[in-house]
Amino acid sequence: MTDLSATKFDVEIFLKTAGIGRKIVQLKAKQSFFSQGNPADSVFYLQHGRARLTVVSSAGKEATITLLSPGDFVGEESIAAVKGLRLATASAIIDCIALKIERDEMIRIMHQEHALSEVFMAYLLTRSMRVQADLVDQLFNSSERRLARILLLMAEFGQPGEEQTLIPPITQETLADMIGTTRSRVSFFMNRFRKMGFIEYNGRIQVHKSLLNVILHDQPSEENATSAPLLSPSKK
């Protein structure tokens, strides 16, 4: 008798292995998965490492749209009804391993295997919600809160039992671009976070869970009560 379970489609295996229309690619830090303006001909699934998505204006100014972690897709615009060009550049922050899936193969397998379609649609929904949260963050939060939020996201807090996490290497200029402020303001806030014990510098930035206080509470700690409010909305 044929074992039907042996032929059952496994999303996890599909996204971890090479095959028809897909291959494993390895990138060093600062290498690009693709560049803005390139043909949108494939989707990438990030298996290991951290990456970022950036855009460059006609005037040459670069801005970081979002950070990418293992389990994220990037280049999803390639499966639009009409094949077009890349709208942004995806590049590795640290060494990365990803599955590159050709456009035609991604479209075919999504039509054929609902399990993958569900995973991909769930990711797109999560990405949409994250973009909305980023917009709200930019519109209503101080630059200090925005910096705290970015650091916590990069540290991927939410994992059970984790109290502190190292974040991938990132420059203060990039952080400033992401939160819409200047590098000097980022330096000022980072120094204050360090003095308050929220982060440490040990070659890499180590984020402590206590940094959540910057986002969750509106008052500074007692030892800083005589200084300017930590979360003052006027700090831009």
Domain 142-224 has CATH 1.10.10.10: yes
Tens-digit pLDDT profile for residues 42-80? 999 999 999 989 999 888 888 888 889 999 999 999 998
Residue 209 has pLDDT above 60, yes or no: yes
Tens-digit pLDDT profile for residues 114-152? 999 999 999 999 988 888 888 788 778 889 999 998 898
The whole-angstrom separation of Cα 54 and Cα 51 is 10
Residue 229 has pLDDT above 60, yes or no: no
Tens-digit pLDDT profile for residues 79-108? 987 888 999 999 998 899 999 999 999 999
State the amino acid at position 26 in one-letter form. Answer: Q
Measured in whole angstroms, the distance separating CA 202 from the mean position of its chain's CA atoms is: 23
The whole-angstrom separation of Cα 163 and Cα 53 is 28
- The pLDDT assigned to 156 comes to 75
Return phi, psi of residue 89, to 5°: -110, 130
The pLDDT of 167-187, averaged and rounded, is 88
Task: Indicate the fold that domain 8-137 takes in CATH.
Answer: Jelly Rolls (2.60.120)
- The pLDDT assigned to 64 comes to 81
Give just the sign of the alpha carbon dihedral 130, 131, 136, 139. Answer: positive
Residue 23 token pair = 């291959």
The domain ranges of the chain are 8-137, 142-224
Phi-psi region of 27 (alpha: psi -120 to 50; beta: other; left: phi over 0): beta
- The pLDDT assigned to 193 comes to 94
Three-state DSSP state, 24:
strand
Query: What is the percentage of the chain residues whose pLDDT exceeds 90?
Result: 50
For residue 89, CA distances in Å to 51, 140, 215 come to 10, 27, 30
Fold match flag (8-137 vs 142-224): no
